Structure 1
Amino acid sequence: MSIQVQNIQKAFGSFIALDNLSLDFPAGELVALLGPSGCGKTTLLRVIAGLEQADSGRVLLDGEDASDTHVRERQVGFVFQHYALFRHMTVFDNVAFGLRMKPRGQRPSEADIKRKVHELLNLVQLDWLADRFPAQLSGGQRQRIALARALAVEPRVLLLDEPFGALDAKVRKELRRWLRRLHDELHITSIFVTHDQEEALEVADRVVLMNHGRVEQIGSPAEVYRQPATPFVYGFLGAANRFEGSSSAGGIAVGASTLTGEAQPEHGQVVAFVRPHELDIVLQPGASGIPARISRVLTLGALTRVELEGQADVSGQHFDVELHAANPLVAQLAAGQTVRLQPRQVRVFAQPDTAGAA
C-alpha cells in the first residue's frame, strides 16, 4: 500500500512538531525517518497510524483520504520501542491477541489462529518460545515477538518507532539485519523511526532526513551520505570536521590557512566539512594546513582515531582524524604534538545568510 501525507501541520502549544510537511511512501518500500530528538519523526508516524490527529493536512492510503479513519480501520501494524507485550500472556497468546480481538464475523477459528501464530513465530524464528512469558525472554526476542504480533492482523502498513532503541549495540546490529531480510521476504510497506544514522543507512531503501518538523533531504542511503543537500545533513550523517571561512577561487580561507579540495568561484562566507578519513596529518615543519595539537591517539580495532585541538586562528575547535592502525604514521603520533591538517576532500556550503549551497 502506498502512503501520502499532504501539507501536514501539527503543533503542541507553541511547539511546531510538523511544519506543512508532504511526503510520498511508495508501496513495498522500507523507509527510515531519521533525525534528532524533537524533529517530528515520531509525531509523523503517529499521524499516519491514526494515533495522533493533525491540525491540518491529509493522510492518503492507496490514494484514499484516511485522515478521519479510526486507527482500527487503517490496517496498520505498530511496533513500539518498549515492546508493549502483555506480561501476563504467553508468547503465543500475545501474538494471537489481535486475531482474537477481531469482530465476531471477521474472527478466525481457534484452529486458524493456532496455525497463523505458529507461522509467524516460525517467521521470526522463535516458535520454540511459544509457551514462555515475556519476562523469560531477552530484549531482542521480545522485540521480534512484538513484530510478529503486529504482523498477525495482516496490516497493509508496518510502522516501527525506534524498534531497537532499548537494546544493546550487538543485538541491535543483529536485529536490523534480520529486519531487512524479513522485509525482503514480505515486501510490506514499512516506515521506521530512528535517530541512529548507521541503522537508517544499513536497513532502509530510502532515508528521509528531518529537522525542526521539515524534510531536509530524501534519497537512497548512498545518495544522502555521498551527496548531502544541506550542512545539517552532512553534519548529522556520520562524523565530520567543520570549518568556517570565506570562499574564493583559490580555496577556503580559514584564518591564515587555506583549505583546498573544492575551490569555489564566488566569494562569500561558507561552512566546509571534511570526513575524518579524508583529513591528513602532516608532521613536516613549515607545512601548510590547519594548525592543531594532538589530544589523544586511540586505536580501535583496525582504525586509529586521532583527536586534536585547533591552534592559532582555530583555537578552541576540535577535530578528528581516522587512520588505518597499520599506517606507519600512527607510531609517530603522540599527545601534545603540534601538527598540520590537510584535507583531501572538502564539501562546501554557503552560510545560511548567503544564497544557496555551494
Structure 2
Amino acid sequence: MTIEVQHIRKQFGQFQALDDVSLQFPNGELTALLGPSGCGKTTLLRIIAGLEHPDSGSVLLDGQDASSSHVRERQVGFVFQHYALFKHMTVFENVAFGLRVRPRRERPSEQQIRDKVKQLLELVQLDWIADRYPPQLSGGQRQRIALARALAVEPRVLLLDEPFGALDAKVRKELRRWLRRLHDDLHVTSIFVTHDQEEALEVADQVVVMNKGRVEQLGTPASVYNAPASPFVYSFLGNVNLFHGRVHDGVLASGDALFDAPGHGGVQNADGIGYVRPHDLDVERYTPGQQGIVVKLRRAHAIGPLAQLDLERADNAQLIEAVIPNERFAGLGLKEGETLVVRPRQIQVFVDEGGGI
C-alpha cells in the first residue's frame, strides 16, 4: 500500500503539532519518522492510523482519500511502545484477539485462527511460549508478541510508535536487526516513530527528519547523514563540532582558522557556521607554520577501535571533539597537554540569511 499525507495541520490548544506536512510513503518500504520529543511524529502516525483527525489536510491510502474512514476500515496494524498486551490472556490468545473480534461473517474458523497464530508465533520465533502470560515474558518478547498481534489481521500497513523505546540498549539493538529481517521477508509498508538516530539510520529504507511540526529533510539514511539539508539535521544526527565565524567570498573565518565554504562564493561578510563531524577531523602534532586549527589535547578516551580526543582551541578556548582510529592514536603516542593541529576533511557551512541558524 502507498500512503500519502497532504498538507496536514494539527493543533492542540496553542501548540502547533503539525504544520502543513506533506509526505509520500512508498509501497513495501520501511520509513522512519525521526525527531525530538514534541516534533509531531507520533501525532502524524496516529493521524495515518485514524486514531487522530487532522484540523486540515488529507490522508490517501493507495490514492484513495481515507481521511473520513474509521480506523478499522484503514486496515492498519499498530504497535505501541508499551506493548498494550492483555495481561489476563495467554500469548496465544493475545495474538488471536484481532481475529476473534471480527464480525461473524468475516471471522475465520477456529482451526484457521489456530493455524494463523501458530504461523505468526513461529515468524517472531516465540512459538514455544504460546501458553505463557505477558507478565512472564521479557520486554523484548512482549514487543515481538505485540508485533505478531498487529500482523494477525493482515494489515495493509504497519505502524510502530517507538516500538523499542522501553527496552534496554542491548535488546533494542537485537530487535531492530530482527525487525529489519522481518520486514525484508514480509514487505508490508511500514512506518515507525523513533527519536533514536542510530535506530532510524540502521533500520529504515527512508528517513523523515521532523522538527517543530515540520519536515526538515526526507531521504535515504545515507543522504540525510552525509548531506544534511539544514543545521538542525546536522546537529540532530550524531555528534558535530560547530565553528562560528564570518563568511566572505567562499571562505569561513572562525577565529584564526580559515575554511573553504563551498557554494557560498558570492556571500559577502555574513554570519556563518561550519559543521564538522568528529571523525572528519585529521589530527597531527603541531609544528609552526602548519595550516589548520591549533589545539591542546585535554583528554583522550582510547578504548575499543576508536580514540575520542577532547581538544581545546588555542585561539578561543572552544572545545572540539575528534575521533581517530585507536591504532593511529597509539602510533602518534599523544599525551595530554600536547599541542596539536586539526584539519577538517569535510565541512558544511550554513550562512545566516536573516532567519538565524
TM class, shorter-length? over 0.9
Q: Which amino acid aligns with 1:148?
A: A
The answer as to whether partners of 2:250 and 2:262 remain within 8 angstroms in 1 is no
Q: Which amino acid aligns with 1:257?
A: A
1:1-358 alignment runs, 5 A limit: 1-249=1-249, 251-260=251-260, 262=262, 264-266=264-266, 267=268, 268-286=270-288, 287-313=290-316, 315=317, 317-328=318-329, 332-353=333-354
Q: Which runs of 5+ in 1 are unaligned?
A: none
**1:140-171 CA-partner distances (Å, limit 9, x unpaired):** 11111000000001111100011111111121
The answer as to whether partners of 1:207 and 1:218 remain within 8 angstroms in 2 is yes
Q: Which runs of 5+ in 2 are unaligned?
A: none
Q: Which amino acid aligns with 2:77?
A: G
The answer as to whether partners of 2:286 and 2:294 remain within 8 angstroms in 1 is no
The answer as to whether partners of 1:252 and 1:263 remain within 8 angstroms in 2 is no
The answer as to whether partners of 2:300 and 2:336 remain within 8 angstroms in 1 is yes
**Deviation (angstroms), 1:232:** 1.3
RMSD between aligned residues: 1.9
**Deviation (angstroms), 1:29:** 1.1
**1:20-78 CA-partner distances (Å, limit 9, x unpaired):** 11111121111111111111101100111111111111111111111111112211100
**Deviation (angstroms), 1:293:** 3.2
Distance in 2 of aligned mates of 1:331 and 1:134? 54
Would the alpha carbon gap of residues 250 and 8 (structure 1) be closer, same or farther in structure 2, given more than 3 Å must change? closer
**Deviation (angstroms), 1:330:** 6.3
Q: Size of the alignment, in residue pairs?
A: 354
The answer as to whether partners of 2:47 and 2:53 remain within 8 angstroms in 1 is yes
The answer as to whether partners of 1:240 and 1:274 remain within 8 angstroms in 2 is yes
Three-state SS of the structure 1 residue aligned to 2:32 is: strand
Would the alpha carbon gap of residues 263 and 192 (structure 1) be closer, same or farther in structure 2, given more than 3 Å must change? closer
**1:276-326 CA-partner distances (Å, limit 9, x unpaired):** 11112332243343343333211231001012234433x3x3321001111
Q: Which amino acid aligns with 1:308?
A: L
Three-state SS of the structure 2 residue aligned to 1:312 is: coil
Would the alpha carbon gap of residues 176 and 80 (structure 1) be closer, same or farther in structure 2, given more than 3 Å must change? same
Q: TM-score, normalised by structure 1?
A: 0.93
Three-state SS of the structure 2 residue aligned to 1:165 is: coil
Q: How many percent of aligned residue pairs carry the same amino acid?
A: 62
Tell me which moved more, 335-344 or 37-46. 335-344
Distance in 2 of aligned mates of 1:300 and 1:260? 33
Would the alpha carbon gap of residues 250 and 153 (structure 1) be closer, same or farther in structure 2, given more than 3 Å must change? closer
The answer as to whether partners of 1:18 and 1:214 remain within 8 angstroms in 2 is yes
Distance in 2 of aligned mates of 1:101 and 1:338? 70
